Amino acid sequence: MIKLNQGTCFKRTILFGILMISIFVFASTARITAAQLIALANGGDFLSSDNEAAETIAADSIAVAVDAEKLGFDSSKLDKIELEMESQIQAGKIVGCSALILKDNKVAYSRVFGQRDQKQNVPVEFDTIWRIYSMSKPITSVAVMQLAENGRIKLDEPASTYLPEFKELRVFKSGRGDAADATVECKNQMTVRDLLRHTSGLTYGFFGNSKVDQAYRRSTVLITDERIENTITKLSKIPLLHQPGTKWHYSVSTDVLGRIVEVASGMTFREYLQKHIFDPLEMKDTFFTVPKAKQNRFAEMYRFDGGKLVPVGIATSFRFLAEDNAFYSGGGGLCSTTRDYVRFAQMLLEEGELDGKRLLKKSSIKEMTKNQLPKGAGKPGFKFGLGFRIDNQGHYFWGGAAGTRFWIDPKNKMITVFMIQINPYQGGHGERFKELAYEALRK
């Protein structure tokens, strides 16, 4: 179990600096009920037909639903997922992970592998809590779209409508932020839509070495910020890398959206998510800070050192464990369980509604899951909606810095969720899991 030692906020923020550098260098038809997913979270798997009670499958068995064949899968091919993950564990490429496939609102496959804490010899379980990092972004995007539906946010209004600090933003002339680059006025104001689709002109500070990136690092954007307001103040003083609306560039945009949610709702971002997303979806294990009573379920983070996976330690955990944490990062600050994230994803797949509770209108989901990039803003074939990347098959998806991944496939009514904790991430394990899932799906 990871333990948080007492220390000052300064020490913790320095540790988070280490973390951020490592990160950025690199849910119609019958639904899953809360009771079913609680059963999953308690260490079992379940299968329920339309009129049958759930059948629990032991956690140490191959967790394939009895009617996986009826759902369109070749069960023998699903077995290849276990072989793949176990072989990666034996090779030292994975310590522990969780994999789940939802098809036609039923669990076709759910399985946990390996250990959540190797040193303590504690296995991964279905209620293991994972740092999901950038898988926080779709959740933040849903919050923004909720407020847009009730008129508190307008997607095509300037961000400065909600954040006056952004009224005087300027842009490096060349779009590169080179040493001799002059700044110019914004041709178009950065909008909320720009923030949702990452065409804001903001950056992260860790992907490149332009003068803008360097300024982010000097200002310790995100790293030492105790509240998201601190981040906004810093960003207001740094020129944009690109003219808003002209280029897709991955950035702190979703963190800015978290602050806009606070301004528009009159609530802290944590309070808003809890009341309007987590409580309605019964996401009982999704937090910015893990309660003490649940910290024994928190997975250890690993990194490669000389080709071997070793624990990273407190640097990846202090904000998730610190009782006084008030930095609610919409871009990467949440942790969650496989069960909770499947609930969230199923709401999206079901066009904004789950278990009779509607979080978003169908029209909002449609808007979020279509390409929003202006012509020329991304590389050929690259598509991005309002909070998700979209592939050529119409799947929308995203992932987190430690290898967590999810994909939503509206055509096949299928969701895949993969959880793991390796940072910096390498190995493509989530992508391999998805590949094997689709190989098992009969055409």
Question: Does 423 lie in the same domain as 306?
Answer: yes
Residue 272 counted as domain residue:
no
Residue 393 counted as domain residue:
no
How far apart are the C-alpha atoms of 61 and 63, rounded to whole Å?
Answer: 6
Question: Does 105 lie in the same domain as 24?
Answer: yes
For the stretch 345-396, pLDDT in tens is: 999 999 999 999 999 999 999 999 999 999 999 999 999 999 999 999 999 9
Question: Does 178 lie in the same domain as 52?
Answer: no
How far apart are the C-alpha atoms of 350 and 332, rounded to whole Å?
Answer: 25
Residue 279 counted as domain residue:
no
Sign of the dihedral defined by the CA atoms of residues 50, 52, 53, 59, in that order? negative
Q: Is the pLDDT of residue 193 over 60?
A: yes
Q: Is the pLDDT of residue 436 over 50?
A: yes
Question: Does 181 lie in the same domain as 44?
Answer: no
Pairing of strands 414-420, 96-103: antiparallel
Question: Does 128 lie in the same domain as 172?
Answer: no
Q: How many domains does the chain have?
A: 2
Q: Is the pLDDT of residue 210 over 70?
A: yes
Residue 348 counted as domain residue:
yes
Is residue 414 within 8 Å of residue 102, measured between CB atoms? yes
For the stretch 303-340, pLDDT in tens is: 999 999 999 987 668 899 999 999 999 999 999 999 99
Average pLDDT score over residue span 226-255: 97
* The pLDDT value given to residue 406: 98
* The pLDDT value given to residue 180: 53
* The pLDDT value given to residue 143: 99
* The pLDDT value given to residue 177: 54
* The pLDDT value given to residue 36: 38
Q: Is the pLDDT of residue 236 over 60?
A: yes
Residue 278 counted as domain residue:
no
Question: Does 192 lie in the same domain as 215?
Answer: yes
Domain of residue 166: give its range.
143-265
Question: Does 404 lie in the same domain as 351?
Answer: yes
For the stretch 62-113, pLDDT in tens is: 244 558 999 999 999 999 999 999 999 999 999 999 999 999 999 999 999 9
Residue 125 counted as domain residue:
yes
Distance between alpha carbon 113 and the CA centroid of its chain, in Å? 21
Half-sphere exposure of 362 (CA within 13 A, CB side): 3
* The pLDDT value given to residue 314: 75
Last residue of a domain, one of 265, 280, 307: 265
Question: Does 151 lie in the same domain as 128?
Answer: no
* The pLDDT value given to residue 64: 41
Question: Does 127 lie in the same domain as 37?
Answer: yes
* The pLDDT value given to residue 24: 39
The amino acid that residue 86 corresponds to is E
Close Cβ partners of 398 (under 8 Å, ≥ 6 residues apart): 134, 135, 137, 138, 387, 388, 389, 405, 406
SS3 of the chain: helix, strand, coil, percent, to 5: 35, 20, 50
Average pLDDT score over residue span 266-292: 98
* The pLDDT value given to residue 234: 97
* The pLDDT value given to residue 125: 96
The H or E element spanning position 273 is: helix 269-273
Residue 430 counted as domain residue:
yes
Please provide the distance, in angstroms rounded to a whole number, between the alpha carbons at the two ends of the chain. Answer: 44
Q: Is the pLDDT of residue 25 over 60?
A: no
Whose structure tokens read 């906004």?
A: 232
Average pLDDT score over residue span 27-50: 34
For residue 375, with 0-12 CB atoms within 10 Å meaning exposed, 13-18 middle and 19 or more buried, which class applies? Answer: exposed
What average pLDDT is seen over the chain?
87
Residue 120 sits in a domain whose CATH number is 3.40.710.10
Question: Does 108 lie in the same domain as 194?
Answer: no
Q: Is the pLDDT of residue 61 over 70?
A: no
Question: Does 160 lie in the same domain as 122?
Answer: no
Residue 380 counted as domain residue:
no
- 3 state SS of 403: coil
* The pLDDT value given to residue 182: 86
Question: Does 222 lie in the same domain as 109?
Answer: no
Token duo for residue 359: 């979080």
